[in-house]
């Protein structure tokens, strides 16, 4: 919605803009083959049906056109602090997403939608402080969700958070995704 508003504002101001349309990704309001390419970034983890969304993108991309998809695998989140509390927090973070592991299912989603010659690049996001991690992943919200779900106690959540802050202050913190 913000992108649509910004696009309208730029167009009204006479600035060049590509345009933005707010639409249901399961039923895009575009003709078949209307685009040369499509980009999906951190969307499929939230939608009702990732497969239908990718199939709809396939429909609107011309034959021979391309698609770029970037989606995380929230189940791969790791902290350098092992144990049941870390596992519960990672699980609580994953459950905040409708499809937390969609990043590792992209190959089958794209193939099922009819994309061919699919190439993959994988990467690891790495953080060296709890503060940097918190800017990307709401770790504190994941802790609260784990407590609310009864997966960990409030005191375990507080102790784990304090441990992460200590590791961060000493330069020993590490989280990866």
Residues 86-102: what's their mean pLDDT? 96
* Rounded distance between C-alpha atoms, residue 51 and residue 116, angstroms: 15
pLDDT score, position 26: 96
DSSP state of 104: G
pLDDT score, position 10: 56
Dihedral sign of CA atoms 126, 128, 130, 135 in order: negative
pLDDT at 7 over 80: no
Largest CA distance in the chain: 56
Give the percent of the chain with pLDDT over 90. Answer: 80
**Model confidence over 110-157: pLDDT tens digits?**
999 999 888 888 899 999 999 999 999 999 999 999 999 999 999 999
* Rounded distance between C-alpha atoms, residue 95 and residue 77, angstroms: 12
**Model confidence over 15-47: pLDDT tens digits?**
655 678 889 999 999 999 999 999 999 999 999
Give the percent of the chain with pLDDT over 70. Answer: 90
Dihedral sign of CA atoms 160, 164, 167, 173 in order: positive
pLDDT at 6 over 80: no
- pLDDT, the chain, mean: 91
| Centroid of chain to Cα 82 | 24
pLDDT at 11 over 60: no
Confidence label for 62 from pLDDT (cuts 50, 70 and 90): very high
């Amino acid at each position: 919605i913000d992108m649509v508003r910004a696009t309208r504002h730029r167009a009204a101001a006479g600035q060049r803009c590509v345009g933005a349309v707010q639409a249901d990704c399961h039923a895009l309001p575009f003709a078949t083959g209307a685009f040369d390419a499509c980009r999906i970034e951190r969307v499929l983890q939230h939608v009702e049906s990732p497969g239908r969304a990718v199939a709809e993108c396939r429909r609107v991309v011309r034959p021979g056109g391309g698609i770029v998809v970037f989606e995380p695998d929230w189940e791969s989140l790791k902290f350098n602090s092992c144990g049941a509390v870390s596992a519960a927090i990672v699980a609580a973070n994953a459950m905040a997403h409708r499809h937390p592991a969609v990043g590792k299912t992209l190959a089958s989603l794209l193939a099922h939608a009819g994309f061919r010659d699919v190439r993959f690049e994988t990467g690891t996001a790495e953080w060296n402080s709890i503060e940097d991690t918190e800017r990307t992943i709401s770790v504190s919200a994941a802790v609260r969700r784990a407590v609310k779900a009864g997966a960990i106690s409030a005191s375990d959540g507080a102790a784990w958070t304090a441990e992460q802050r200590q590791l961060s202050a000493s330069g020993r913190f590490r989280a990866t995704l």
